[in-house]
Structure 1
Amino acid sequence: MKKKKEDYVWSILRIVLGWTFLWPFLDKLYGLGFTTAPEASWLAGGSPTFGFLSFATKGPFAEIFQGLAGNVLVDWLFMLGLLLIGLALILGIGVRIAGYAGVTMMVLMFLAGSIPPEHNPLID
């Protein structure tokens, strides 16, 4: 079976998207200092969802998302989602399910922070 150029492109894209989910997991878990300070890491007792859900949410769904900020179950689900989606896409295991889960997570983050759009109605 001969590999086509498109197969390689799709594989690279899948791995890059997987890394897009795995990197925030590692940063929030260990506090690597990029977006999460070491003292705010999950292992140091920080909440991976508190900052975004408390301060970056706006729009009609803000109250709902702010009520979830810092909840232990939400923290676990968020971190497991980042880890499992990232690993599945990087390893190529359950790519379709991981893709749907990733889209769902991204849509929820968009609803939490970007509705209504401030600058451009299509891309903000």
Structure 2
Amino acid sequence: MLAVLRVATGLIFLWAFLDKMFALGWATPSGRGWIEGGSPTAGFLGSVSVGPFESVFNSWAGAAWADWLFMLGLLGIGLALVLGVALWPAAIAGALMLGFMWAAVWPPARALSDGSPSGSTNPFVNYHVVYAAVMFVLASTRAGDTWGLGRIWARVAPVGRFPWIR
């Protein structure tokens, strides 16, 4: 089950990467993909309209460095989880990315113009926190060894010397 959870979580990150890269029409409207000149961070970070970090996230929205870090993070975390390698670095990077995303939607009980809530109504635990916890569970249980390349990855010389990159 951990292998299924690892691959499923990895596919969530890879799907987000592919949708933002190619504007597959799900979260990213057609014609606004990164490959077409769109910004993968402009919409989300630019829409932060409340909270203690509003001005910080608004200033990052659409910045080239933020776009590159975000997209490389989605791709790297997704590939690491699907392949079952570098699960600790993926968990650390993923928790950092998801922590920023959690902070961008905090406080979570903001109402949209139509009165519907914009996400979780729990101020502490939402899907960003759960995904981060899942990645640490996957790394700490060596979930990459089942249906993944974790055992092969563990035999690579640098990984043997620095087990935290396993």
TM-score by length of 1: 0.87
CA deviations on 1:2-46 (whole Å, 9 max, x unpaired) are: xxxxxxx11111111111111010000011011112210001100
Task: Give the conservation status (yes or no) of the 8 Å contact 1:57–1:65.
Answer: no
2:31 pairs with 1:29: no
Q: CA deviation at 1:97?
A: 1.0
2:81 pairs with 1:81: no
1:6 counterpart residue number: none
2:75 pairs with 1:94: no
SS in 1 for 2:38: coil
Task: Give the conservation status (yes or no) of the 8 Å contact 2:48–2:57.
Answer: no
RMSD: 1.3
Higher relative contact order (CA 8 A, sep 6+): 1
User: Residues 60, 97 of structure 1: CA spacing in aligned structure 2 closer, same or farther, 3 A cutoff?
Assistant: same
1:106 counterpart residue number: 98
2:50 pairs with 1:58: yes
Segments of structure 2 that go 5 or more residues without pairing to the other structure are 110-120, 127-166
Structure-2 separation of matches of 1:110 and 1:116: 9
Structure-2 separation of matches of 1:73 and 1:57: 22
Structure-1 separation of matches of 2:67 and 2:46: 13
Q: CA deviation at 1:62?
A: 0.8
SS in 1 for 2:36: coil
Structure-1 separation of matches of 2:91 and 2:122: 26
Q: CA deviation at 1:93?
A: 1.0
Q: CA deviation at 1:57?
A: 4.9
Q: For 2:122, which of 117, 120, 123 is the aligned residue?
A: 120
Q: CA deviation at 1:107?
A: 0.9
Structure-2 separation of matches of 1:93 and 1:122: 30
User: Residues 121, 55 of structure 1: CA spacing in aligned structure 2 closer, same or farther, 3 A cutoff?
Assistant: closer
Which amino acid is the alignment partner of residue 56 of structure 1? Answer: V
